[in-house]
A and B are shown apart, each in its own frame.
Chain A
Amino acid sequence: MVRQARSEATRQRIVNAAVELFSEVGYQATGLGDIIERAQLTKGALYYHFDSKEALATAIIEEGADIALRAFRSISDPSSPALENMIHGIFVVADLTTSDKMVRTGTQLLKAFGEFNAVTALTHGHLLSEMVAQARQAIAEGDVRDGLDPEAVGEVVVGAMLGAELISNAASGGADLVDRVARTWTLLLPAVASAESLPYFAEFLSRESLRHLPA
Protein backbone atom coordinates (compact mmCIF):
# COMPACT_ATOMS: atom_id res chain seq x y z
CA MET A 1 0.00 0.00 0.00
CA VAL A 2 2.71 2.43 1.14
CA ARG A 3 4.97 1.12 -1.62
CA GLN A 4 2.31 1.74 -4.23
CA ALA A 5 1.78 5.30 -3.03
CA ARG A 6 5.51 5.95 -3.15
CA SER A 7 5.75 4.50 -6.66
CA GLU A 8 2.86 6.72 -7.78
CA ALA A 9 4.60 9.77 -6.29
CA THR A 10 7.79 8.92 -8.20
CA ARG A 11 5.85 8.51 -11.42
CA GLN A 12 4.16 11.88 -10.88
CA ARG A 13 7.55 13.50 -10.22
CA ILE A 14 8.86 12.21 -13.54
CA VAL A 15 5.75 13.41 -15.40
CA ASN A 16 5.94 16.85 -13.78
CA ALA A 17 9.65 17.22 -14.61
CA ALA A 18 8.92 16.24 -18.21
CA VAL A 19 6.06 18.74 -18.43
CA GLU A 20 8.36 21.52 -17.22
CA LEU A 21 11.14 20.64 -19.66
CA PHE A 22 8.86 20.07 -22.66
CA SER A 23 7.24 23.45 -22.10
CA GLU A 24 10.56 25.20 -21.50
CA VAL A 25 12.72 23.82 -24.31
CA GLY A 26 10.34 21.65 -26.34
CA TYR A 27 9.89 17.93 -26.82
CA GLN A 28 12.63 17.42 -29.40
CA ALA A 29 15.32 19.23 -27.43
CA THR A 30 14.60 17.40 -24.19
CA GLY A 31 16.60 14.27 -23.48
CA LEU A 32 15.71 11.56 -20.98
CA GLY A 33 18.88 12.53 -19.12
CA ASP A 34 17.53 16.07 -18.61
CA ILE A 35 14.32 14.65 -17.18
CA ILE A 36 16.21 12.37 -14.78
CA GLU A 37 18.28 15.33 -13.62
CA ARG A 38 15.25 17.60 -13.15
CA ALA A 39 13.30 14.94 -11.26
CA GLN A 40 16.43 14.06 -9.22
CA LEU A 41 15.94 10.37 -9.77
CA THR A 42 17.93 7.45 -11.14
CA LYS A 43 17.75 6.18 -14.69
CA GLY A 44 16.32 2.94 -13.28
CA ALA A 45 13.43 4.76 -11.64
CA LEU A 46 12.52 6.43 -14.91
CA TYR A 47 12.74 3.25 -16.97
CA TYR A 48 10.69 1.41 -14.38
CA HIS A 49 7.77 3.68 -15.24
CA PHE A 50 8.41 4.71 -18.86
CA ASP A 51 10.31 2.77 -21.50
CA SER A 52 10.73 5.75 -23.85
CA LYS A 53 10.30 9.48 -24.23
CA GLU A 54 7.23 8.77 -26.33
CA ALA A 55 5.65 6.74 -23.52
CA LEU A 56 6.20 9.74 -21.28
CA ALA A 57 4.62 12.06 -23.84
CA THR A 58 1.63 9.73 -24.11
CA ALA A 59 1.20 9.82 -20.33
CA ILE A 60 1.21 13.64 -20.39
CA ILE A 61 -1.33 13.73 -23.22
CA GLU A 62 -3.58 11.37 -21.29
CA GLU A 63 -3.27 13.22 -18.02
CA GLY A 64 -3.88 16.62 -19.64
CA ALA A 65 -6.86 15.30 -21.56
CA ASP A 66 -8.22 13.75 -18.39
CA ILE A 67 -8.05 17.09 -16.53
CA ALA A 68 -9.87 18.85 -19.39
CA LEU A 69 -12.46 16.11 -19.71
CA ARG A 70 -13.16 16.09 -15.98
CA ALA A 71 -13.61 19.87 -16.04
CA PHE A 72 -16.05 19.55 -18.94
CA ARG A 73 -18.00 16.81 -17.15
CA SER A 74 -18.15 18.76 -13.91
CA ILE A 75 -19.97 21.62 -15.61
CA SER A 76 -22.26 19.36 -17.68
CA ASP A 77 -24.83 19.27 -14.96
CA PRO A 78 -28.44 18.34 -15.71
CA SER A 79 -29.55 21.39 -13.72
CA SER A 80 -28.27 23.80 -16.37
CA PRO A 81 -29.44 23.99 -20.02
CA ALA A 82 -27.27 21.75 -22.21
CA LEU A 83 -26.56 24.50 -24.76
CA GLU A 84 -25.16 26.60 -21.89
CA ASN A 85 -22.97 23.64 -20.94
CA MET A 86 -21.67 23.38 -24.50
CA ILE A 87 -20.70 27.06 -24.59
CA HIS A 88 -19.40 27.22 -21.03
CA GLY A 89 -17.56 23.89 -21.39
CA ILE A 90 -15.52 25.11 -24.36
CA PHE A 91 -14.48 28.23 -22.44
CA VAL A 92 -13.51 26.22 -19.37
CA VAL A 93 -11.39 23.90 -21.49
CA ALA A 94 -9.83 26.85 -23.33
CA ASP A 95 -9.03 28.45 -19.97
CA LEU A 96 -7.33 25.28 -18.78
CA THR A 97 -5.40 25.03 -22.04
CA THR A 98 -4.00 28.49 -21.29
CA SER A 99 -3.49 28.21 -17.55
CA ASP A 100 -2.77 24.56 -16.72
CA LYS A 101 0.72 23.37 -17.64
CA MET A 102 -0.26 19.72 -17.93
CA VAL A 103 -3.21 20.47 -20.23
CA ARG A 104 -1.19 22.93 -22.31
CA THR A 105 1.80 20.61 -22.77
CA GLY A 106 -0.53 17.68 -23.42
CA THR A 107 -2.34 19.65 -26.13
CA GLN A 108 0.94 20.61 -27.80
CA LEU A 109 2.25 17.05 -27.70
CA LEU A 110 -1.06 15.79 -29.04
CA LYS A 111 -0.56 17.99 -32.10
CA ALA A 112 3.01 16.78 -32.57
CA PHE A 113 1.99 13.12 -32.34
CA GLY A 114 -1.38 13.53 -33.99
CA GLU A 115 -0.44 11.57 -37.07
CA PHE A 116 0.49 8.28 -35.55
CA ASN A 117 -0.57 8.09 -31.95
CA ALA A 118 -3.64 6.02 -31.06
CA VAL A 119 -4.19 8.14 -27.98
CA THR A 120 -5.07 11.10 -30.19
CA ALA A 121 -8.18 9.50 -31.60
CA LEU A 122 -9.20 8.40 -28.13
CA THR A 123 -8.66 11.82 -26.52
CA HIS A 124 -10.67 13.71 -29.09
CA GLY A 125 -13.21 10.91 -29.07
CA HIS A 126 -14.00 11.37 -25.37
CA LEU A 127 -14.55 15.10 -25.65
CA LEU A 128 -16.57 14.58 -28.80
CA SER A 129 -18.91 12.06 -27.22
CA GLU A 130 -19.47 14.38 -24.24
CA MET A 131 -20.30 17.19 -26.65
CA VAL A 132 -22.65 15.01 -28.71
CA ALA A 133 -24.47 13.97 -25.53
CA GLN A 134 -24.93 17.64 -24.61
CA ALA A 135 -26.11 18.46 -28.15
CA ARG A 136 -28.68 15.66 -27.92
CA GLN A 137 -29.90 17.04 -24.61
CA ALA A 138 -30.04 20.59 -26.01
CA ILE A 139 -32.24 19.31 -28.84
CA ALA A 140 -34.55 17.67 -26.28
CA GLU A 141 -34.71 20.97 -24.39
CA GLY A 142 -35.81 22.74 -27.58
CA ASP A 143 -32.85 25.11 -27.81
CA VAL A 144 -31.45 23.81 -31.11
CA ARG A 145 -32.72 24.60 -34.61
CA ASP A 146 -35.02 22.00 -36.12
CA GLY A 147 -33.54 19.17 -38.15
CA LEU A 148 -29.96 19.29 -36.81
CA ASP A 149 -28.14 16.06 -36.08
CA PRO A 150 -26.53 15.92 -32.59
CA GLU A 151 -23.47 14.10 -33.94
CA ALA A 152 -22.93 16.79 -36.55
CA VAL A 153 -23.42 19.60 -34.02
CA GLY A 154 -20.94 18.00 -31.60
CA GLU A 155 -18.40 17.43 -34.36
CA VAL A 156 -18.58 20.96 -35.71
CA VAL A 157 -18.26 22.51 -32.24
CA VAL A 158 -15.30 20.36 -31.19
CA GLY A 159 -13.72 20.70 -34.64
CA ALA A 160 -14.04 24.49 -34.59
CA MET A 161 -12.49 24.63 -31.13
CA LEU A 162 -9.53 22.47 -32.12
CA GLY A 163 -9.09 24.64 -35.18
CA ALA A 164 -9.16 27.79 -33.09
CA GLU A 165 -6.52 26.24 -30.88
CA LEU A 166 -4.33 25.54 -33.91
CA ILE A 167 -4.63 29.06 -35.28
CA SER A 168 -4.10 30.57 -31.85
CA ASN A 169 -0.92 28.54 -31.40
CA ALA A 170 0.37 29.67 -34.76
CA ALA A 171 -0.60 33.32 -34.31
CA SER A 172 0.19 33.99 -30.68
CA GLY A 173 1.62 30.87 -29.09
CA GLY A 174 -1.81 30.19 -27.62
CA ALA A 175 -2.15 33.52 -25.82
CA ASP A 176 -5.30 34.66 -27.66
CA LEU A 177 -7.12 31.32 -27.45
CA VAL A 178 -10.06 32.51 -25.36
CA ASP A 179 -10.63 35.44 -27.72
CA ARG A 180 -10.63 33.12 -30.74
CA VAL A 181 -12.96 30.66 -29.04
CA ALA A 182 -15.35 33.52 -28.30
CA ARG A 183 -15.33 34.64 -31.94
CA THR A 184 -15.80 31.09 -33.18
CA TRP A 185 -18.83 30.62 -30.92
CA THR A 186 -20.29 33.94 -32.07
CA LEU A 187 -20.35 32.58 -35.62
CA LEU A 188 -21.50 29.09 -34.70
CA LEU A 189 -24.29 29.98 -32.33
CA PRO A 190 -26.82 31.30 -34.89
CA ALA A 191 -26.27 28.09 -36.87
CA VAL A 192 -27.05 25.95 -33.83
CA ALA A 193 -29.56 27.76 -31.62
CA SER A 194 -33.26 27.97 -32.44
CA ALA A 195 -34.66 31.42 -33.26
CA GLU A 196 -36.49 31.78 -29.92
CA SER A 197 -33.48 30.68 -27.87
CA LEU A 198 -30.83 32.60 -29.77
CA PRO A 199 -31.14 35.99 -28.00
CA TYR A 200 -30.71 34.43 -24.57
CA PHE A 201 -27.74 32.26 -25.54
CA ALA A 202 -26.13 35.12 -27.45
CA GLU A 203 -26.19 37.10 -24.21
CA PHE A 204 -24.95 34.10 -22.24
CA LEU A 205 -22.06 33.90 -24.72
CA SER A 206 -21.19 37.58 -24.55
CA ARG A 207 -21.17 37.46 -20.73
CA GLU A 208 -18.99 34.38 -20.88
CA SER A 209 -16.52 36.08 -23.26
CA LEU A 210 -16.30 39.17 -21.06
CA ARG A 211 -15.67 37.12 -17.95
CA HIS A 212 -12.96 34.94 -19.46
CA LEU A 213 -11.08 37.53 -21.42
CA PRO A 214 -8.10 39.03 -19.65
CA ALA A 215 -9.06 42.53 -18.50
Chain B
Amino acid sequence: MTEQLDRRADATRQQIVLAASHQFARKSYSQVNLDDILTQAEVTKGAMYFHFRSKHELAVAIINHQTALSYEAMNEVLSRRLAGLETLIDVSCLIVGKDIGDDVCRAGLNLLESIGRTDGVQTRVLGEWTSAFAEVIRRAIAEGDVVADREPEDVSRVLISAFMGLRQTSDVNDPQRYFTDLQKTWALTLPGFANPDRIGYLNQFIKRRIALAIHNAKPLT
Protein backbone atom coordinates (compact mmCIF):
# COMPACT_ATOMS: atom_id res chain seq x y z
CA MET B 1 0.00 0.00 0.00
CA THR B 2 2.67 2.51 0.99
CA GLU B 3 4.62 1.38 -2.03
CA GLN B 4 1.69 2.32 -4.23
CA LEU B 5 1.40 5.70 -2.52
CA ASP B 6 5.11 6.28 -2.98
CA ARG B 7 4.82 5.48 -6.63
CA ARG B 8 1.96 7.91 -7.06
CA ALA B 9 3.93 10.62 -5.26
CA ASP B 10 6.91 9.91 -7.53
CA ALA B 11 4.72 10.21 -10.60
CA THR B 12 3.37 13.56 -9.37
CA ARG B 13 6.87 14.80 -8.65
CA GLN B 14 7.98 13.74 -12.11
CA GLN B 15 4.98 15.50 -13.66
CA ILE B 16 5.92 18.73 -11.90
CA VAL B 17 9.57 18.46 -12.95
CA LEU B 18 8.63 17.92 -16.60
CA ALA B 19 6.09 20.76 -16.67
CA ALA B 20 8.57 23.08 -14.99
CA SER B 21 11.31 22.03 -17.45
CA HIS B 22 9.02 22.99 -20.29
CA GLN B 23 8.73 26.48 -18.78
CA PHE B 24 12.38 26.94 -17.78
CA ALA B 25 13.51 25.75 -21.23
CA ARG B 26 11.64 28.64 -22.86
CA LYS B 27 11.69 31.46 -20.32
CA SER B 28 14.21 32.89 -17.94
CA TYR B 29 14.09 31.95 -14.25
CA SER B 30 12.43 35.17 -13.18
CA GLN B 31 9.82 35.06 -15.94
CA VAL B 32 8.59 31.60 -15.01
CA ASN B 33 5.42 31.73 -13.03
CA LEU B 34 4.47 28.92 -10.61
CA ASP B 35 0.84 29.08 -11.73
CA ASP B 36 1.86 28.25 -15.30
CA ILE B 37 3.71 25.20 -14.03
CA LEU B 38 0.70 24.11 -11.94
CA THR B 39 -1.67 24.50 -14.89
CA GLN B 40 0.56 22.53 -17.19
CA ALA B 41 1.35 19.80 -14.66
CA GLU B 42 -2.33 19.58 -13.67
CA VAL B 43 -1.50 19.45 -9.97
CA THR B 44 -2.67 21.54 -7.04
CA LYS B 45 -0.55 24.08 -5.25
CA GLY B 46 -0.65 21.83 -2.19
CA ALA B 47 0.79 18.89 -4.14
CA MET B 48 3.51 21.10 -5.51
CA TYR B 49 4.53 22.47 -2.09
CA PHE B 50 4.51 18.94 -0.72
CA HIS B 51 7.35 18.13 -3.16
CA PHE B 52 9.10 21.50 -3.54
CA ARG B 53 9.08 24.20 -0.93
CA SER B 54 10.05 26.93 -3.39
CA LYS B 55 10.69 27.77 -7.01
CA HIS B 56 14.39 27.64 -6.19
CA GLU B 57 14.14 24.12 -4.81
CA LEU B 58 12.27 23.05 -7.96
CA ALA B 59 14.97 24.61 -10.13
CA VAL B 60 17.72 22.79 -8.27
CA ALA B 61 15.78 19.53 -8.70
CA ILE B 62 15.73 20.12 -12.47
CA ILE B 63 19.48 20.75 -12.52
CA ASN B 64 20.04 17.51 -10.60
CA HIS B 65 17.69 15.60 -12.87
CA GLN B 66 19.45 16.94 -15.95
CA THR B 67 22.85 16.05 -14.48
CA ALA B 68 21.69 12.49 -13.78
CA LEU B 69 20.37 12.14 -17.34
CA SER B 70 23.64 13.47 -18.77
CA TYR B 71 25.63 10.92 -16.78
CA GLU B 72 23.36 8.20 -18.09
CA ALA B 73 23.99 9.46 -21.62
CA MET B 74 27.72 9.56 -20.98
CA ASN B 75 27.73 5.99 -19.67
CA GLU B 76 25.79 4.95 -22.71
CA VAL B 77 28.46 6.50 -24.95
CA LEU B 78 31.24 4.92 -22.85
CA SER B 79 29.63 1.52 -23.33
CA ARG B 80 30.14 1.92 -27.10
CA ARG B 81 33.84 1.45 -26.38
CA LEU B 82 35.34 4.01 -28.70
CA ALA B 83 38.66 5.72 -27.96
CA GLY B 84 38.61 8.15 -25.00
CA LEU B 85 38.80 11.36 -27.00
CA GLU B 86 36.25 10.04 -29.51
CA THR B 87 33.97 9.33 -26.56
CA LEU B 88 34.23 12.93 -25.35
CA ILE B 89 33.47 14.21 -28.84
CA ASP B 90 30.40 11.98 -28.97
CA VAL B 91 29.28 13.15 -25.53
CA SER B 92 29.58 16.80 -26.58
CA CYS B 93 27.49 16.14 -29.72
CA LEU B 94 24.92 14.27 -27.66
CA ILE B 95 24.53 17.02 -25.09
CA VAL B 96 24.35 19.75 -27.70
CA GLY B 97 21.67 17.67 -29.45
CA LYS B 98 19.69 17.42 -26.21
CA ASP B 99 20.18 21.12 -25.52
CA ILE B 100 18.60 21.76 -28.93
CA GLY B 101 15.67 19.38 -28.57
CA ASP B 102 15.10 18.25 -25.00
CA ASP B 103 13.20 20.30 -22.39
CA VAL B 104 14.95 18.91 -19.33
CA CYS B 105 18.44 19.36 -20.75
CA ARG B 106 17.77 22.89 -22.01
CA ALA B 107 16.12 23.87 -18.73
CA GLY B 108 18.82 22.27 -16.60
CA LEU B 109 21.61 24.10 -18.43
CA ASN B 110 19.67 27.40 -18.43
CA LEU B 111 19.13 27.11 -14.69
CA LEU B 112 22.73 26.13 -14.02
CA GLU B 113 23.66 29.50 -15.51
CA SER B 114 20.96 31.59 -13.85
CA ILE B 115 20.74 30.22 -10.31
CA GLY B 116 23.85 28.02 -10.16
CA ARG B 117 25.91 30.64 -8.35
CA THR B 118 23.85 30.33 -5.19
CA ASP B 119 24.37 27.45 -2.77
CA GLY B 120 27.43 26.23 -4.69
CA VAL B 121 25.31 24.33 -7.24
CA GLN B 122 27.53 25.32 -10.17
CA THR B 123 30.69 24.45 -8.31
CA ARG B 124 29.35 21.02 -7.45
CA VAL B 125 27.86 20.13 -10.86
CA LEU B 126 30.73 21.48 -12.96
CA GLY B 127 33.25 19.98 -10.54
CA GLU B 128 31.70 16.55 -11.04
CA TRP B 129 31.71 17.01 -14.80
CA THR B 130 35.35 18.07 -14.71
CA SER B 131 36.37 14.91 -12.86
CA ALA B 132 34.26 12.70 -15.12
CA PHE B 133 35.83 14.21 -18.26
CA ALA B 134 39.33 14.10 -16.73
CA GLU B 135 38.93 10.37 -16.17
CA VAL B 136 38.32 9.86 -19.90
CA ILE B 137 41.17 12.25 -20.85
CA ARG B 138 43.49 10.09 -18.79
CA ARG B 139 42.55 7.20 -21.06
CA ALA B 140 43.04 9.41 -24.13
CA ILE B 141 46.60 10.09 -22.91
CA ALA B 142 47.25 6.36 -22.62
CA GLU B 143 45.87 5.90 -26.14
CA GLY B 144 48.19 8.60 -27.47
CA ASP B 145 45.48 11.00 -28.65
CA VAL B 146 46.26 13.56 -25.94
CA VAL B 147 49.87 14.57 -25.36
CA ALA B 148 51.32 13.11 -22.19
CA ASP B 149 52.38 16.26 -20.39
CA ARG B 150 48.92 17.80 -20.19
CA GLU B 151 47.15 17.78 -16.85
CA PRO B 152 43.85 15.87 -17.43
CA GLU B 153 41.94 18.14 -15.05
CA ASP B 154 43.15 21.24 -16.94
CA VAL B 155 42.14 19.86 -20.34
CA SER B 156 38.81 18.88 -18.89
CA ARG B 157 38.19 22.34 -17.40
CA VAL B 158 39.06 24.10 -20.67
CA LEU B 159 36.64 21.87 -22.60
CA ILE B 160 33.80 22.37 -20.15
CA SER B 161 34.36 26.15 -20.05
CA ALA B 162 34.27 26.22 -23.83
CA PHE B 163 31.01 24.24 -24.00
CA MET B 164 29.29 26.21 -21.25
CA GLY B 165 30.35 29.44 -22.98
CA LEU B 166 29.31 28.14 -26.37
CA ARG B 167 25.64 27.86 -25.46
CA GLN B 168 25.70 31.54 -24.55
CA THR B 169 27.49 32.84 -27.65
CA SER B 170 25.86 30.46 -30.15
CA ASP B 171 22.15 29.98 -30.82
CA VAL B 172 20.53 27.00 -29.08
CA ASN B 173 17.50 27.33 -31.35
CA ASP B 174 19.53 26.99 -34.53
CA PRO B 175 20.89 23.41 -34.87
CA GLN B 176 22.99 24.21 -37.94
CA ARG B 177 24.73 27.09 -36.21
CA TYR B 178 25.03 25.50 -32.76
CA PHE B 179 26.58 22.30 -34.15
CA THR B 180 28.87 24.19 -36.54
CA ASP B 181 30.07 26.31 -33.62
CA LEU B 182 30.67 23.11 -31.64
CA GLN B 183 32.79 21.79 -34.49
CA LYS B 184 34.80 25.04 -34.55
CA THR B 185 35.27 24.90 -30.79
CA TRP B 186 36.80 21.44 -31.09
CA ALA B 187 38.93 22.46 -34.07
CA LEU B 188 40.32 25.43 -32.15
CA THR B 189 40.89 23.68 -28.82
CA LEU B 190 42.31 20.36 -30.10
CA PRO B 191 45.76 21.77 -31.00
CA GLY B 192 46.13 22.78 -27.35
CA PHE B 193 46.20 19.22 -26.10
CA ALA B 194 45.87 16.68 -28.92
CA ASN B 195 48.81 14.83 -30.42
CA PRO B 196 49.64 16.72 -33.67
CA ASP B 197 49.65 13.45 -35.68
CA ARG B 198 46.07 12.74 -34.67
CA ILE B 199 44.50 16.14 -35.26
CA GLY B 200 43.73 15.54 -38.94
CA TYR B 201 41.90 12.33 -38.15
CA LEU B 202 40.06 13.79 -35.15
CA ASN B 203 38.80 16.76 -37.16
CA GLN B 204 37.44 14.32 -39.76
CA PHE B 205 35.83 12.28 -36.99
CA ILE B 206 34.12 15.44 -35.67
CA LYS B 207 33.10 16.65 -39.12
CA ARG B 208 31.33 13.39 -39.95
CA ARG B 209 29.44 13.35 -36.67
CA ILE B 210 28.43 16.99 -36.88
CA ALA B 211 27.00 16.39 -40.37
CA LEU B 212 24.89 13.52 -39.01
CA ALA B 213 23.91 15.46 -35.90
CA ILE B 214 22.66 18.45 -37.92
CA HIS B 215 20.71 16.03 -40.07
CA ASN B 216 19.13 14.30 -37.02
CA ALA B 217 18.50 17.41 -34.89
CA LYS B 218 14.95 18.04 -33.69
CA PRO B 219 14.54 21.56 -32.27
CA LEU B 220 12.12 22.33 -29.42
CA THR B 221 8.64 23.23 -30.62
Interface residue ranges, A against B (CB under 8 Å): 74-75, 77-81, 84, 88, 92, 141, 200, 203-204, 207, 211
> Could you mark each residue 188-221 of chain B with 1 if its beta carbon is under 8 Å from any beta carbon of chain A, else 0?
0000000000000100110011001100100000
Which of the residues B83, B143, B208, B216 comes within 8 Å of A200, measured between beta carbons?
B208
Count of interface residues, chain B, beta-carbon cutoff 8 Å: 19
Instruction: Decide: A74 and B79 in contact? CB cutoff 8 A.
Output: yes
- The docked-state distance in angstroms from the alpha carbon of A75 to that of B81 is 8
A-B contact pairs, 13 of them (CB 8 A): A74-B76, A74-B79, A78-B212, A79-B90, A79-B93, A79-B213, A80-B80, A80-B90, A88-B80, A200-B204, A200-B205, A204-B205, A211-B83
- The docked-state distance in angstroms from the alpha carbon of A78 to that of B90 is 12
Instruction: Decide: B201 and A207 in contact? CB cutoff 8 A.
Output: yes
Taking A77-B80, A79-B94, A207-B83 as contacts, is the C-beta distance between A141 and B201 under 8 angstroms? no
Instruction: Decide: B201 and A92 in contact? CB cutoff 8 A.
Output: no
B82 close to chain A: CB less than 8 A: yes
Instruction: Decide: B80 and A200 in contact? CB cutoff 8 A.
Output: no
Residues on A with beta carbons closer than 8 Å to the beta carbon of B81? 75, 88, 92
Which of the residues B93, B97, B143 comes within 8 Å of A211, measured between beta carbons?
B143
- The docked-state distance in angstroms from the alpha carbon of A84 to that of B83 is 13
- The docked-state distance in angstroms from the alpha carbon of A187 to that of B213 is 30
Residues on B with beta carbons closer than 8 Å to the beta carbon of A204? 201, 205
Residue of A nearest to B79 (CB): A74
Residues on A with beta carbons closer than 8 Å to the beta carbon of B201? 200, 203-204, 207
Q: Name the residue among B80, B82, B205, B212 with the largest chain A CB count within 10 angstroms.
A: B80
Instruction: Decide: A75 and B80 in contact? CB cutoff 8 A.
Output: yes
- The docked-state distance in angstroms from the alpha carbon of A38 to that of B80 is 35
Residues on A with beta carbons closer than 8 Å to the beta carbon of B83? 207, 211
A-B contacts besides A75-B80, A203-B201, 4 pairs, CB < 8 Å:
A75-B81, A79-B213, A200-B201, A211-B83
- The docked-state distance in angstroms from the alpha carbon of A86 to that of B111 is 40
Q: Which 8 interchain pairs have the tightest Cβ spacing? A: A75-B80, A200-B204, A203-B201, A81-B208, A78-B216, A79-B212, A74-B79, A92-B81
- The docked-state distance in angstroms from the alpha carbon of A141 to that of B209 is 11
